[in-house]
Amino acid sequence: MVRLRPHHLLCMLTFVGEGYNPAFVANYRRIAARLSAGEPIEIVSGPDDICAPLLRDENAHCLAASVVGRDAAALADLGKLLGCELEAGSVIASDPALLDRLREAFSAGSTRRACAGCEWGGLCDRIAGEGYQGALVRGRRLNPPETAPGISARPRA
């Protein structure tokens, strides 16, 4: 299972192989391959599998209050989009239907509050504007199209 903090559910949509340093990029490429193969996602609070190579630095931005704020905004927007209460421990199926839904919302701007002020915003705008060509997280349809993406979370009241 891939462990992701909430705002990384947005970042994964536009990851094209750029990052903070070579170790970060190599790690993220491995995670993108796992997500593309359909490995489930567990939402976590705080640093996740993508953050791992950066945590050696005691001043890692992964621990900053601004990043925690990004997570809160992403969690709220994604829960609204998916119609459920997402929280740490929620599990989401990483499948083409989910990726399509997330990309559509990202392109429309309905899930981008977490992106405000992010240094990668310009790159993400370009990737989304180009139809996500080159994005490394690619779903492959493993189930019949009528199978809905699995989400293990509380339904919204």
Q: Tens of pLDDT along 121-154?
A: 999 999 999 999 999 998 654 333 333 445 555 5
Asked if the model's pLDDT at residue 156 lies above 60, the reply is: no
Asked if the model's pLDDT at residue 157 lies above 80, the reply is: no
In the block, residue with structure tokens 């953050």: 51
Q: What is the pLDDT of residues 83-97, one digit of tens each?
A: 999 999 999 998 899
Three-state secondary-structure class, residue 11: helix
Q: How many domains does the chain have?
A: 1
Q: How much is the pLDDT for 152?
A: 53
Asked if the model's pLDDT at residue 42 lies above 60, the reply is: yes
Strand order in the sheet with 41-43: 2-4, 41-43, 91-92, 151-152
Three-state secondary-structure class, residue 43: strand
The CA angle 20-10-95, to the nearest 5 degrees, is 115
Q: Who wins on pLDDT, 59 or 146? A: 59
Percent of the chain with pLDDT over 70: 88
Domain of 70 in residue numbering reads as 2-155
Mean pLDDT within 76-105: 93
Q: How much is the pLDDT for 50?
A: 95
Confidence label for 116 from pLDDT (cuts 50, 70 and 90)? very high
Q: What is the pLDDT of residues 13-35, one digit of tens each?
A: 999 999 889 999 999 999 999 99
Supply the pTM of this predicted model. 0.85
The number of C-alpha atoms within 13 Å of 136 and in the hemisphere containing its C-beta is 17
Identify the top-confidence range among 51-65, 71-85, 131-145. 71-85
Mean pLDDT within 54-63: 80
